[in-house]
């Protein structure tokens, strides 16, 4: 009987395909390689080019996280023109099993495999083993997921669109900022604030409320100006982002009963590093009235691992049903 190894692992975005090899149980993931999607005509060709370049044999199992909803055998990437059949990909690679999941589901599936060195704690609290875990990932968009125990050692990852829930204000200033966002977009969703473009939206809302001319900025411009202190409005945007993120994370923790912890992925918070205001985040995370004590007991952590979605893709092969 197959052990499910070796494994070909993929983390596929709209621009780049990240591939890796997992040779045997307990071994580290190796030969991580980033290939532009545009360099190959299809997902299979990208995978085959990686295997040839690294000199790897046919994989027994394949696990891929991909930046698009998975609703059946046919998969269409959201941000490039790759279209493929999971069954045909499995056959072409000669694999015994091919699991294709949403990239944020893959990130959620990494949570049980992350070591303490892969995380940076934000505030206090202690995780309860085997309890539900929550995940938010502000990056290009806002990914939201959770990991729910199945009672037999397996886990089920929540696959939804929680980034598009309506974002709530906790004071008059936040209400005024969200009113600007709502006027501009028709709906003030969490992603309109808690994402790269959300940082720009917050900066623009602050300019509108203060009567200041809005500069054309990219998300990295906002974080850079906040970190070097060159623009007070950019610094305020990052502070408001942090407060809104704490609020949203607290809501998710309550919804899932996430006593296993709340984890922050995506590219923005790790980029802020030590400049991320953990105290402000926890203040808004715990500010839930009668349930503040409930939330004080729940730990929150930033994921700092280099390739967590690849870890999750391998973990998913072991922990998720086909």
Euclidean distance between CA atoms 162 and 195, whole angstroms:
13
Average pLDDT over residues 19-31: 95
For residue 187, what pLDDT band results from cuts at 50, 70 and 90?
A: very high
- Architecture per CATH, domain 7-103+307-319, reads as 2-Layer Sandwich (3.30)
pLDDT (0 to 100) of residue 257: 98
| 57-84 pLDDT per residue, tens | 999 999 999 988 898 999 998 778 899 9
Report the pLDDT value the prediction gives residue 247, as an integer from 0 to 100. 98
Q: Which CATH architecture has domain 111-304?
A: 3-Layer(aba) Sandwich (3.40)
Q: What is the pLDDT of residue 1?
A: 47
Residue 216 exposed, middle or buried by CB count within 10 Å (0-12, 13-18, 19+): exposed
β-pair partners for 147: 133, 157
pLDDT per residue as tens digits for the range 206-234: 999 999 999 999 999 999 999 999 999 99
CA distance 159 to 69: 9
CA distance 223 to 245: 15
Q: What span, in angstroms and rounded, lies between the C-alpha atoms of 315 and 215?
A: 44
**Distance, C-alpha 202 to centroid of its chain:** 21
CA neighbor of 318 nearest in space, from 63, 31, 27: 63
Model confidence at 245: pLDDT above 80: yes
Three-class SS state of 84: strand
Q: What pLDDT digit, counting tens, does each position of 120-174 carry?
A: 999 999 999 999 999 999 988 898 999 999 888 788 898 888 999 999 999 999 9
pTM over 0.85: yes
Q: Which two tokens stand for residue 223?
A: 């974080």
CA nearest neighbour of 8 among 26, 30, 39: 30
Question: What are the domain boundaries of the chain?
Answer: 7-103+307-319, 111-304
Q: E strand or H helix at 190, and its extent? A: none
Which of the four pLDDT bands, split at 50, 70 and 90, describes residue 317?
very high
Check if 7-103+307-319 and 111-304 are the same fold.
Answer: no
Tell me the average pLDDT of the chain.
Answer: 94
Q: How far, in Å, CA of 208 to CA of 199, rounded? A: 14
- DSSP codes, 206-221: HHHHHTPPPP---HHH
pLDDT in tens, 256-299: 999 999 999 988 998 898 889 999 999 999 999 999 999 999 99
Cβ(302)–Cβ(116) under 8 Å? no
């Amino acid at each position: 009987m197959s052990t499910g190894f070796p494994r070909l692992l993929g983390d596929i975005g709209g621009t780049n395909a990240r591939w890796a090899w997992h040779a045997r149980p307990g071994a580290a993931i190796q030969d991580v390689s980033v290939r532009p999607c545009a360099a190959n005509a299809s997902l299979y060709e990208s995978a085959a080019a990686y295997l040839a370049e690294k000199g790897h044999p046919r994989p027994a199992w394949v696990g891929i996280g991909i930046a698009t909803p998975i609703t059946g055998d046919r998969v269409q990437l959201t941000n490039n023109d790759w279209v493929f059949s999971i069954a045909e990909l499995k056959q072409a690679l000669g694999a015994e099993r091919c699991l294709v999941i949403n990239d944020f589901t893959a990130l959620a599936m990494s949570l049980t495999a992350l070591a303490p060195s892969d995380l940076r704690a934000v505030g206090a609290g202690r995780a309860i083993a085997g309890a539900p875990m929550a995940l938010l990932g502000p990056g290009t968009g806002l990914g939201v997921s959770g990991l729910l125990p199945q009672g037999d050692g397996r886990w089920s990852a929540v696959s939804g669109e929680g980034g598009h829930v309506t974002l709530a204000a906790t004071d008059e200033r936040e209400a005024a900022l969200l009113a600007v966002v709502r006027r501009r977009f028709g709906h003030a969703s969490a992603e309109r604030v808690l994402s790269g473009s959300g940082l720009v939206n917050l900066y623009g809302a602050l300019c509108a409320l203060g009567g200041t001319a809005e500069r054309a900025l990219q998300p990295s411009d906002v974080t850079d100006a906040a970190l070097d202190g060159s623009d007070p409005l950019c610094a305020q945007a990052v502070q408001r982002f942090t407060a809104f993120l704490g609020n949203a994370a607290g809501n998710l923790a309550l919804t899932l009963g996430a006593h296993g912890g709340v984890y922050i992925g995506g590219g923005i918070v790790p980029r802020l590093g030590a400049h991320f205001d953990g105290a402000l985040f926890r203040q808004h995370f715990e500010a839930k009235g009668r349930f503040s004590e409930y939330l004080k007991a729940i730990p929150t952590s930033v994921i700092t691992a280099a390739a967590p979605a690849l870890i999750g893709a391998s973990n998913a092969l072991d922990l998720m049903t086909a």
